[in-house]
Amino acid sequence: MTITPGNHLVNVIESVSVKDANNSDGKRKLVADCKAVLAEFISTLLLVFFGCMACVPLEGFHIQPPLYGPFAFGFIVLFNIQAFGHISGAHMNPVVTLGAVLWGKMSIMLGIAYAIAQCAGSILGYGILMGVSPLDLVPNAVCTTQPHAQLTMLQAVAVEVILTAALNFLNCAIWDPANEASLESVSLKFGFTIAGLSIAGSELTGASMNPARSLGPVVWTGAWSTHWVYWVGPIIGGSISALFYKYIWLNTSKELKDK
């Protein structure tokens, strides 16, 4: 005998199906988030390893040629965005992640996981560099970001605020829906932006714009005295630029697109 399910049984079956679908979606999102966090760890490791490798003093040079560092960091950012951007966004920077949280692109918990992965990747990246470097990087605190001796701490913070705000304006422009049709060559845009901002600010503060990038070298070399500058400045600059763009320019750009 075939029994036609009553309404209650149909509702139960539908409820179970929806629950299974939700569980499946939740598992897929968890896996994707874990992959993204791993990508942030690896990309930040590579950023610090290769970027700081260009700062290791070379035989025959009293000091490292001044453009080595900016171009090295710019080009490794270019590489990382191309390699990992589709997995995690290739933030490599807690301030970029903070901007994404303020923008509403990701949850606070995922943002915290990103920041932890970025800091851990930076520390391990510099540690690996110390292991393969022919020179001891600790005595001269190679690749640590430190303000120029003639700058006050307030000036150093201001430089990092401005540099990071400029960088994060580019992030916001990429996130802006009005630009969704013009996202070609994003890796090039960020790579050359990092190189340009680094050239502008490297002699003043090291042009960190990235607390994680500054953290790794400091953990191993112990040069903590001015490290706070590279958290306070970038966090202020990144937050102000993200909020300013979101609440001042974002709606305007949407309106212009709609027209």
pLDDT in tens, 170-185: 999 999 988 877 778 8
Closest to 221 in 3D by CA, of 56, 25, 75: 56
Among the four given CATH numbers 3.40.1160.10, 3.60.40.10, 1.20.1080.10, 3.65.10.10, the one describing domain 30-56+63-258 = 1.20.1080.10
Determine how many CB atoms are found less than 10 A away from the CB of residue 225: 10
Tell the residue number behind the tokens 């569980």, with chain if given. 23
What is the arithmetic mean of pLDDT over 23-41?
91
Q: What is the DSSP string of 197-253?
A: HHHHHTTTT-----HHHHHHHHHHH---TTTTHHHHHHHHHHHHHHHHIIIIIHHHH
Q: What is the pLDDT of residue 22?
A: 62
The owner of tokens 């060559």 is 185
State the pLDDT confidence band at 232, using cuts at 50, 70 and 90: very high
- Please state, in angstroms and rounded to a whole number, the distance separating the CA atoms of residues 97 and 83: 18
Asked if residues 74 and 93 have their Cβ atoms less than 8 Å apart, the reply is no
pTM: predicted TM-score of the whole model, two decimal places: 0.87
Length in residues, the chain? 259
Q: Domain segments of the chain: what residues?
A: 30-56+63-258
Looking at residue 59, its pLDDT comes to 74
Spatial contact of 95 and 170, defined as CB atoms under 8 Å apart: no
Reported as a pLDDT band with limits 50, 70 and 90, residue 3 is very low
| pLDDT band at residue 207 under the 50/70/90 scheme | very high
